[in-house]
A and B are shown apart, each in its own frame.
Chain A
Amino acid sequence: MAAQTCVDVRNEWDIVSARQLGRDLSKELGFSSVDQARITTAISELARNIYLYAGKGKVCIEPVKDVNRSGLQIIASDTGPGIQDIRKVMQDGFTTSGGLGAGLPGVKRLMDEFSINSSVDIGTEILITKWLR
């Protein structure tokens, strides 16, 4: 299995690098063009969140294998301010109404798996997975 590859996110250009990494790996794994677009959009959103709200962090991407399927896993982590009320940011219409893009619920819907861990003043870690159909 290929090793984990990470991209540090500090500025807007790093968002593109993270997308590129996701694009290359998802293409390599054989995801369809629509799924490739979904994966890169999700990476884009997470990287943008890091850039906008945490200042810096990283996006790590690695191919994963289950018993009978394979896919791509992305971990976006930062040491930013953290999220006070996770329930609120996971609510539809909460972030989007402020014009902040798709928001975390949108990212969740693009992927097959989604989990989030966040502590105030410590940081946030979001793990998403897309399985090959």
Chain B
Amino acid sequence: MLGDRDILIDRYKQFLTAYLSGRTEQALYRAQQFSRKMLEQNISPEEVINMHSTVLQTINGGIPEEIRDSFDFLIEVMMGYGMAYREHQILRDKQKALESEIEVAASMQQTLLQGDIPVTDKLDIGVISKAAKQMSGDYFHFVQNRPESINVAVADIIGKGVPAALCMSMIKYAMDSLPEQENHPSMVLENLNRVVEQNVDPAMFITMFYGNYNTDIHRFHYAGAGHEPGFYYDAKNDNFEEFMAKGLVLGVSKTTQYQAFDKDIEEGDMILLLSDGVTECRTSKGFISREEIVTLIRSYMHLNAQEIVENVYSDLEQLQDFELRDDFTLIILRRSV
């Protein structure tokens, strides 16, 4: 320890003497490099001043007493900076630890979110879900409980980051513990509503869309809890329309009832489900309008569902300068045959 210190003082003396004899830029450059080295070794500002004063006292016959003592004054002044510097270092280490913890949590969440997306030749499915921060408050889930029955859930927890992610995990477990036969959209929402109402902070809101697609008769049975409206593409008339299911957000009242709706899906028709991260994309010109999103979707409509969602996402990402403000989820179900 003392050895290192002596070496430092020795080098400081060497560099300072070199500077004082020629006052060259090169000597100053050395000083800059030296400061990096001192930072690496956690030398605090007051120690640097002390070093300077110690060295000055040994070269060119020393320094006047007044100047020497003035360094003690300077050391005292720099104490606050030294303490702030040490605290900064510790907080920086803490932040690193916190970040790596969040990374672990985020990858755990990814495993939670991962689920198989059903493959059927009757329905072309595309899904993309991206977190704005490391952890997502968006949730989607597919369950194929019978060969002809595909269930899809999209939920959006208002808020983002860790609190939203914690909430999302709860939704995931609540969904998993629903009886498998009970996949009537309105009943699913009523069940979840009770769970949310009992377990979630009243300041936290969860919106959800739940649908059941029957691939035998091509009928979509669905219900919504205050969820961002999606789009419906009517292939015959080549027309996009708003697609929504009215209902109160989850967790407001224990006894909320949800209404289910039915829609017959024709060949080539598309159901587009999304989270508000899609419609709340913001560029320098303001929010992206729903029409603009429709235009985007239209331009990729010749591709398959997965390619559409990926292209729409990458275009919106670019429009926002690669800065996602909210979690982003887009799902497309297109009747193939």
Which A residues fall within an 8 A CB radius of B? Answer: 32-34, 37-38, 40-41, 92-93, 96, 101-103, 105-106, 109-110, 133
Query: Is B83 an interface residue, CB under 8 A from the partner?
Result: yes
Selected contact of B46 from candidates A34, A92, A105, A106, CB within 8 Å = A34
User: In the complex, what residues of A have CB within 8 A of residue B83's CB?
Assistant: 41, 102, 106, 109-110
Which B residues fall within an 8 A CB radius of A? Answer: 2, 46-47, 50, 53, 71-72, 75-76, 79-80, 83-84, 86-87, 90-91, 94
Selected contact of B2 from candidates A93, A105, A133, CB within 8 Å = A133
CB distance from A34 to the nearest CB of B (A): 5
CB distance from A107 to the nearest CB of B (A): 9
Can you identify 12 A-B contacts, CB atoms within 8 angstroms?
Answer: A33-B53, A33-B75, A34-B46, A34-B75, A37-B79, A38-B79, A41-B76, A93-B87, A93-B91, A96-B87, A102-B83, A106-B83
Q: Tell me the bound Cα distance from A52 to B78 in angstroms.
A: 23
Q: From A102, which residue of chain B is reached at the shortest CB distance?
A: B83
Q: From B86, which residue of chain A is reached at the shortest CB distance?
A: A109
User: In the complex, what residues of B have CB within 8 A of residue A96's CB?
Assistant: 84, 87
Q: From A41, which residue of chain B is reached at the shortest CB distance?
A: B79
Q: From A91, which residue of chain B is reached at the shortest CB distance?
A: B94
CB distance from B79 to the nearest CB of A (A): 5
CB distance from B63 to the nearest CB of A (A): 14
Interface centre among B87, B90, B91, by most A CB within 10 Å?
B87
CB atoms of B87 and A105 under 8 A apart: yes
Q: Tell me the bound Cα distance from A106 to B79 in angstroms.
A: 11
Q: Return the 9 tightest CB-CB contacts between A and B, nearest first.
A: A102-B83, A106-B83, A34-B50, A41-B79, A37-B75, A92-B90, A109-B86, A33-B72, A37-B76
CB atoms of B47 and A34 under 8 A apart: yes
User: In the complex, what residues of A have CB within 8 A of residue B80's CB?
Assistant: 101-102
Q: Tell me the bound Cα distance from A101 to B50 in angstroms.
A: 23
CB atoms of B91 and A92 under 8 A apart: yes
User: In the complex, what residues of B have CB within 8 A of residue A101's CB?
Assistant: 80
Q: Tell me the bound Cα distance from A12 to B75 in angstroms.
A: 22
Say whether, besides A34-B75, A92-B94, A102 and B87 are in contact (CB < 8 Å): yes
CB atoms of B76 and A106 under 8 A apart: no
Q: From A33, which residue of chain B is reached at the shortest CB distance?
A: B72
CB atoms of B72 and A92 under 8 A apart: no
User: In the complex, what residues of A have CB within 8 A of residue B50's CB?
Assistant: 32-34
CB distance from A56 to the nearest CB of B (A): 25
Q: A34-B46, A34-B50, A92-B90 are in contact. List 17 more A-B contacts (CB 8 A).
A: A32-B50, A33-B50, A33-B71, A37-B76, A37-B79, A40-B76, A41-B83, A92-B87, A92-B91, A92-B94, A96-B87, A102-B83, A103-B87, A105-B90, A109-B83, A109-B86, A110-B83
